[in-house]
Structure 1
């Protein structure tokens, strides 16, 4: 059985990250996009590279290839998440470099799922977020029923406005074995980049209940 994973994204404060790691997320995300209010900024690369209890994801938007490789090296990234118009050949090169690759897409009514086909074989996961000009972090939810139209077998992360008050609904409505991980960000914050640990703790408990229920049902 594939256990549902969770990712906490948009971290940039070392003390806050320490508290978040205590919740045992599977993935934590650092945003390397300068226009984001959650830009990793002055977070110590040495501190980030020392983290070993969660997979470290670097989030990039149309970044120069060399910048991505340098971040992988400096921050000890295990995963690269691409949120822009990156091509499959970059995804392939990054995988050959030794990291896993997540390719993100903004989903809305009428989304053309066929554009994902060119990435099959060159990514490990897709990520489905709410379509927004800001490349994620909008706090807005898209229509999860659109996921029923997803035609491929590549597992995916699900993001976009996920909050404590809609998480239980999401877990009941998106009954898809290809759903690999829940990705939370802006709806679990005190301010951009500083997570509300108690809210996250409650979300983790809901996810744990869901995992237990799935194990019983299977």
Structure 2
């Protein structure tokens, strides 16, 4: 079976509806004010119209638990992705309200040493490319860094995955790979996804 698909960085209502019609497994919404894909004051109805078959993921970076809780309630989020330097304690607290994806930036095998301790306080790992900002760098890290990593949790593969990567993903074959996370390389503008490119990528992924 192919990995699940998460389309992240959505913020335009019409574009959200068009991408949702492709039935990805997850849609990601960034609640981090310094991101060019920040949802801003998006009406809660926009997210609540997303079909229940699609998991709505709120992405946060070192946010206060109160803000995360309020946002989850307001938008009806199904899952939270913590993309900063969140502590074990914070992850444990957030997980009481909904499942948690904890993101880590990976450059070399040594970067994975601190990951394992989070296994008991989150549901998924997400491995991303090191960058100055958060999300949408358009660059990939060396996936072979994960080859010998015996992950205690299923993980999302993120960072610069583009339309031409379906074959590479199929060959990657890590037993703990649960989903791929796509963002900037499928955009026509920050936060606006190219629906035709996504549809073709999904077709290729489904053919593997």
TM range (shorter): over 0.9
After the TM superposition, which residues 46-57 of structure 1 pair with which residues of structure 2 at under 5 Å, given as runs? 46-51=45-50, 52-57=52-57
For structure 2, the residue ranges without an aligned partner over 5 or more in a row are none
The runs of at least 4 consecutive aligned structure 1 residues that moved more than 6 Å come to none
Shift, 1:176, TM fit: 1.1
Which residue of 2 is the match for residue 63 of structure 1?
A: 63
C-alpha distance in structure 1 between counterparts of 2:4 and 2:59, whole Å: 18
After the TM superposition, which residues 38-49 of structure 1 pair with which residues of structure 2 at under 5 Å, given as runs? 38-49=37-48
C-alpha distance in structure 2 between counterparts of 1:167 and 1:136, whole Å: 20
SS of the residue corresponding to residue 58 of structure 1 reads strand
C-alpha distance in structure 2 between counterparts of 1:110 and 1:92, whole Å: 25
For structure 1, the residue ranges without an aligned partner over 5 or more in a row are 211-218
C-alpha distance in structure 1 between counterparts of 2:66 and 2:48, whole Å: 18
Which residue of 1 is the match for residue 176 of structure 2?
A: 178
Shift, 1:104, TM fit: 0.2
SS of the residue corresponding to residue 115 of structure 2 reads helix
Residue 164 of structure 2 corresponds to residue 165 of structure 1: yes
1:32-63 deviation line (CA, Å, top 9, x unaligned): 01111000113211221232231000000001
C-alpha distance in structure 1 between counterparts of 2:199 and 2:54, whole Å: 16
Which residue of 1 is the match for residue 191 of structure 2?
A: 193
Which residue of 1 is the match for residue 148 of structure 2?
A: 149
C-alpha distance in structure 1 between counterparts of 2:88 and 2:13, whole Å: 33
Which residue of 2 is the match for residue 216 of structure 1?
A: none
1:171-216 deviation line (CA, Å, top 9, x unaligned): 21x1112000010000000000000000000110111112xxxxxx
Which residue of 2 is the match for residue 128 of structure 1?
A: 127
Tell me the TM-score normalised to structure 1 length: 0.91
Aligned residues: 207
Tell me the TM-score normalised to structure 2 length: 0.95
C-alpha distance in structure 1 between counterparts of 2:4 and 2:151, whole Å: 20
Which residue of 2 is the match for residue 10 of structure 1?
A: 9
- Whether the aligned pair in 2 keeps the contact of 1:113 and 1:151 (CA below 8 Å) is no
C-alpha distance in structure 2 between counterparts of 1:111 and 1:190, whole Å: 35
SS of the residue corresponding to residue 115 of structure 1 reads coil
**How large is the Cα RMSD of the aligned pairs?**
1.3
